Amino acid sequence: MRLMRHVVFVMVLQKSFKMTIATSTLHSHLVPSTPRLGKFSDRVLGSINSSYFTSTTESTRLTDSSVLSQLMTFILGLSSGRQIYVISDDSWPDMTVVMKSCYQEWADTTLLKYDPKLTELESSLKSPNHVVSARNVIVLCSTQHTLYLFQQVREKVLESTTVQWFVVVMEDLTFILQHSLRGSPGVDLHKGHSDQIQASSRQGQHSRSCQLVVSVNNNWPFLGIIHQEDGSVVPDSGIDINILDTLGSKLNFTYELVVPEDRAWGGPQKDGTVTGLIGMVARQRANLAICEITITDLRETVVDFTAPYWLESLTLIRAPKERDSSMAIFWPFTTMVWVYIAVATLVMGPVMSVLYWFRGWLVERTEATQTTSAFIQHVQKSAFYAGILTAVLTVPVFEKPVDSLADLPLAAGEGFAIGTLKDSSTETLFRQAESGIYYQVWQLFHPVDSLLPDPELGFDKVLGEKFVLINSQLNAEIRATVKSRDKYHFSRETFYPHGYSIACTTGAPFRPNFERMLSGIIEAGLINHWAEGEIQKLSGKVDTDGDETEDGGPSSLTVQHLQAAFFLLALGGATSSAAFLVEVLLALRQSAELPDFFPAAQ
């Protein structure tokens, strides 16, 4: 998990909020660098948060409830921690707005009155029942109380890598407090990095715009891109493109698309590297990544995710193969039914003879009267079978499909390969499994051939080889529709429900605004509307060639369907001819008209 180790001073200087960051150097490789925050101040804090802090000619007082609310929202947006301790004194008489802002952010908030001994705060921070990965302490006290508070923090050793401090003051205390901060182990004060943001009690209509770098892959219908001759990438269409355009228009930013060199979705690897889209965001080569990105625990260790905007599951795709129809005449019944029919046919003659003899004995007749019941029975059986056979043969019959994960081992035994996208959340799901069906499926993967760089390649392999592709449902449905839907079979059972989200750099200040906008977009039904729009675009791309058979409709019977019947007819004719020839030879032998080919019976 991320370890919070910042002291952030938000200084209220008449019309502006000035922010200075004191950063612990302990385990500095896990801490977002201060220069990065300085770089974002001009581009992000000055524009994305401009809806909170914009230029004004009016004097802004901290007692203005709207400004105070916006200030608290801004502070809470700097951290992902949701356990908040608010320390206030009499200089902040009304804490209603502060607490309301915390609750609106779904934060677990505790309000503490300023205590020179910090008894309650010390008890909370050191209690084993309150240990979480990230905790925030917001200090709303006078200058004198703030100085004394940090002296107590030092004496009581309340510094922690899991605690982030936000100090709101009316004057710059960094120079005065640097000795107290330096006295703490592993703490260094970066005085050279500060950001000043204008404050206003109302939103500005002409706030300064900025440009964000967005890491993407070509993955329509979620995100389609066009590669230019100069090497740049421009957006084409897709659900995620619509999301970016909407966020940009409402939050006043533009974006530049970049593609990772490995073209993978990526994530943390065993060797410590971070690949793909996630790697570009983690290394701060991009401000965010959006492209059907699944939220996983492993990825959350290096980036921050917004709330999911799309939920779906995984499915299995293979090409349906029509069954060999050479033995189609046996399809109407199962093997056991055919056995019963054969036994009944063989037994029918002797049984009926005994019954007729017994009936004749009862009525004192020497011969049984011939009836047509046996003939009628055979006619009924033939008609029944012919009707079923015709109904079965006129509809294409396919081999048993792969409808669940439990069918994959059997498919692998029949020569099918199983695969998915390389460096994707699906690969991580199976690779990290230690037991169960996911672990069994991972054992079926080939280390090279099963991991594909592009989903389009997977759909081509499904048609050209014995291959089962594991992919997300909506993406798979649309790609299959483009290539001709009847060429693919989708499993009846789906698995692993997951959500797609926007990956942001750790501590990105624009993430709370993105989440608010995404919430409104989802509630308005725009995501589903955009998805339907992408599906409707397929009307001009779908291959309509083909006949009724390709669509699974009825077809005419061919010789191939009935060749087994002709084979059995020929076999029966040959057998009966051989039997007839043997009878003729025996009859001739008995009449001595032919040489004695058979020795006389003794």
pLDDT of amino acid 242:
92
Beta-bridge partner residues of 430 = none
Mean pLDDT of 437-448: 88
Phi, psi for 224 (deg, rounded to 5): -105, 140
pLDDT of amino acid 213:
93
pLDDT of amino acid 136:
86
pLDDT digits (tens, 9 = 90+) for 503-557: 999 888 889 999 989 988 988 888 888 888 887 776 555 444 444 334 445 556 6
- Per-residue confidence at 597, pLDDT binned at 50, 70, 90? low
Asked if 180 contacts 151 with a C-beta cutoff of 8 angstroms, the reply is yes
pLDDT of amino acid 174:
59
pLDDT of amino acid 195:
45
Is 13's pLDDT higher than 80? no
- Per-residue confidence at 64, pLDDT binned at 50, 70, 90? low
The winner for highest mean pLDDT among 45-49, 317-321, 350-354, 438-442 is: 438-442
pLDDT of amino acid 549:
39
* More confident of the two residues 602 and 241: 241
Identify the weakest region by mean pLDDT among 95-104, 112-121, 229-238, 372-381.
Answer: 372-381
- Strands in 93-185 per DSSP E: 108-113, 135-140, 163-169
pLDDT of amino acid 38:
34
DSSP codes, 265-281: ---B-TTS-B-HHHHHH
DSSP 325: G
Cα–Cα distance for residue pair 301/503, rounded to 1 Å: 11
Mean pLDDT of 132-137: 78
Mean pLDDT of 429-446: 89
Identify the weakest region by mean pLDDT among 36-40, 192-196, 207-211.
Answer: 36-40
Cα–Cα distance for residue pair 370/247, rounded to 1 Å: 90
| Percent of the chain surpassing pLDDT 70 | 66
Mean pLDDT of 31-53: 31
Is 391's pLDDT higher than 70? no
Identify the weakest region by mean pLDDT among 121-135, 151-165, 190-204, 329-343.
Answer: 190-204
Dihedral class, residue 378 (left if φ above 0, else alpha if ψ from -120 to 50, else beta): alpha
The winner for highest mean pLDDT among 139-153, 397-411, 514-528 is: 514-528
In the chain, the amino acid numbered 457 is: L
| Percent of the chain surpassing pLDDT 90 | 10
- Per-residue confidence at 369, pLDDT binned at 50, 70, 90? low
Peptide bond into 409 cis (omega under 30): no
Is 176's pLDDT higher than 90? no
pLDDT of amino acid 131:
61
Mean per-residue pLDDT of the chain: 73
Cα–Cα distance for residue pair 173/143, rounded to 1 Å: 8
CA count, 13 A, side-chain hemisphere, 500:
24
Identify the weakest region by mean pLDDT among 53-67, 126-140, 225-239, 333-347.
Answer: 53-67
Mean pLDDT of 45-49: 31
3-state SS, one letter per residue, for 366-413:
CCCCCCCHHHHHHHHHHHHHHHHHHHHHCCCCECCCCCCHHHHHHHHH
* More confident of the two residues 195 and 347: 347
pLDDT of amino acid 277:
92
Closest CA to 37 of 175, 195, 188: 195
Cα–Cα distance for residue pair 41/48, rounded to 1 Å: 10
pLDDT of amino acid 61:
46
- Per-residue confidence at 229, pLDDT binned at 50, 70, 90? confident
pLDDT of amino acid 222:
86
Cα–Cα distance for residue pair 504/384, rounded to 1 Å: 67
Mean pLDDT of 93-104: 78
Is 601's pLDDT higher than 70? no
* More confident of the two residues 467 and 130: 467
Domains and CATH numbers, the chain: 6-198 (3.40.50.2300), 325-393 (no CATH), 558-602 (no CATH)
* More confident of the two residues 64 and 142: 142
Asked if 200 contacts 54 with a C-beta cutoff of 8 angstroms, the reply is yes
- Strands in 200-356 per DSSP E: 210-215, 224-227, 233-237, 253-258, 288-294, 304-305, 310-318
Is 590's pLDDT higher than 80? no
Is 137's pLDDT higher than 50? yes
pLDDT of amino acid 286:
93
pLDDT of amino acid 104:
77
